[in-house]
């Protein structure tokens, strides 16, 4: 399967700990997106990369959140000093460049902060 993969699928952590998630996009896609989704809601945009460049960050992304895509392939999302409000599903998607393209999503990483 050459779809978008995310690791881990589930993460349980204690408040105050740091966590890191990984996303491997579809190989020929140069755009990569991170979203957060809470129960009963649609995804909320967090940040976006074109190749290795991080081009946009949402106001939702506090300074405890950082994302990288060092070689323009996989990406990591790190949350420092986790809070209970960070509990959510973190979704990664990738797409080709250009307007009006479909985004292809990974299965998500479900984070629970105790």
Partner 1 sequence: SQQGEEDPQALSIQEGENATMNCSYKTSINNLQWYRQNSGRGLVHLILIRSNEREKHSGRLRVTLDTSKKSSSLLITASRAADTASYFCATDLDSNYQLIWGAGTKLIIKP
Which residues of this chain interact with partner 1, rule CB under 8 A?
A: 4, 31, 33, 40-45, 48, 50, 55-56, 89, 91, 93, 98-100, 102-108, 110
Burial of 98 from C-beta contacts in 10 A (0-12 / 13-18 / 19+) = exposed
Shortest separation between residue 81's beta carbon and partner 1, angstroms: 26
Shortest separation between residue 77's beta carbon and partner 1, angstroms: 15
**Angle at CA 13, nearest 5°, toward 107 and 40?**
45
Are 8 and 109 within 8 A, CB to CB? yes
Shortest separation between residue 29's beta carbon and partner 1, angstroms: 12
């Amino acid at each position: 399967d050459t779809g978008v993969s995310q690791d881990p699928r589930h993460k349980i952590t204690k408040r105050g700990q740091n966590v890191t998630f990984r996303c491997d996009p579809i190989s020929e896609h140069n755009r990569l997106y991170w979203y957060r989704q809470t129960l009963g809601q649609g995804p909320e945009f967090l940040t976006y990369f074109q190749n290795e460049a991080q081009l946009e960050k949402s106001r939702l992304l506090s300074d405890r959140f950082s994302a990288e895509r060092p070689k323009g392939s996989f990406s990591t999302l790190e949350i420092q000093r986790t809070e209970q409000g960070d509990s959510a599903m973190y979704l990664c998607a990738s797409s080709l460049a250009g307007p009006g393209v479909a985004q292809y999503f990974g299965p998500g990483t479900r984070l629970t902060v105790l």
